[in-house]
A = this chain, B = another copy of it.
Amino acid sequence: MSSPSPRERLLEAIIDELDRGGLGERSLRELAASVGTSHRMLIHHFGSREAIFVAVVEAVEAAERARAVAIHLEVDPAEHDPIGAMRSTWRRLSDPGFAGRERLFFECYARGLQGEAPFDRLLPAAVTDWLQRLELPEPLPGMTKAQTRAFVRLGLAVMRGLLLDLLATGDRRGTTAAFEQWLDLVQRGMRPPAPGR
């Protein structure tokens, strides 16, 4: 609640700016100009260009973690409606308002894959964090524990894959239809094999 330090204000402005346009090969000066300061100030408050990237990665990571927690809370309360929880998760993820943040996430992810510091520090958590957090208290019906883990992992991949599709095509309707297809499969798969109607 105390007035934020200039560093915090700057970081927020930077991330806002990166939400549009990403970081790409931007120089300190470009970045500074786009948030209304001088490169001198960025160096002063962050120490170096690299340190800015570190701060950005940490922010992206924190946002990702917060999202995982939020979804965890939503899924967990054993209301036994995983389908509904998944659907609302997708609805939130596919909100156009988040597109910028997600593009930034994937940019960091990809640069991390190439071993570029400091983006690579995002990777270990990018998958395992979610898997840990989404681990279900007990196996799904008809599955072993390992299968359930694999299923959750698959679910994460579905979200990421469709998100990648959505960001590239902008086709929210089509990707949502694909997601509904997923929910359908899950629903059918979770019914015992031969219910005998």
Instruction: Report which A residues bind B (CB closer than 8 A).
Output: 21-25, 103, 106-107, 109-116, 123-124, 126-128, 146-147, 149-151, 153-154, 156-162, 164-165, 167-169, 174-175, 177-182, 184-186, 188-189, 191, 193-197
Q: Which of B114, B147, B159, B164 contacts A181 (CB 8 A)?
A: B147
Whole-angstrom distance from the CB of A155 to the nearest CB of chain B? 9
Q: Which of B110, B164, B180, B185 contacts A185 (CB 8 A)?
A: B185
Are the CB atoms of A168 and B127 closer together than 8 Å? Answer: yes
Task: Determine the distance from Cα of A146 to Cα of B176 in the docked complex, in whole angstroms.
Answer: 12
Q: A107-B111, A126-B168, A149-B177 are in contact. List 4 more A-B contacts (CB 8 A).
A: A147-B181, A154-B185, A158-B158, A184-B189
> Given A114-B103, A185-B189, A195-B194 in contact, is the A156-B165 Cβ separation under 8 Å?
yes
Task: Determine the distance from Cα of A193 to Cα of B127 in the docked complex, in whole angstroms.
Answer: 33
